[in-house]
Amino acid sequence: MTISNSHAIDLADPDWTDAPERIVARLVQVSDGAIRINAGAAGPLLAPVAQILLAARNTARARGADLVLIGVTPACRDSMASLGLPADIFQHEEV
């Protein structure tokens, strides 16, 4: 099954930390355009989640697309900075 990119994967989904293999499977199934991640309800970003996002971004770029974070919360943005990720590492889209 492939996932249309008409909706975003929710960064607040507990699977990001509880069952990351499920998130990876969903990310791999995105078939068209940028991988869109809804970060509007996300708390601080944990390092393993950041690693998944970076891998997804690299995969998307390899097929000519990108990873877009939608509605990044201040807590998420601050934690990315704390992890040493530059503010422009991912494309951002405001809600």
How confident is the model over 39-93, as pLDDT tens digits? 999 999 999 999 999 999 999 999 899 999 999 999 999 999 999 999 899 999 9
**Is CATH 3.30.70.980 correct for 9-93?**
no
- Strand (E) positions, 29-95? 35-38, 67-70, 91-93
- The pTM of the full predicted model, rounded to 2 decimals, is 0.89
- Contact predicate 37/70, CB 8 Å: yes
Asked if residues 38 and 70 have their Cβ atoms less than 8 Å apart, the reply is yes
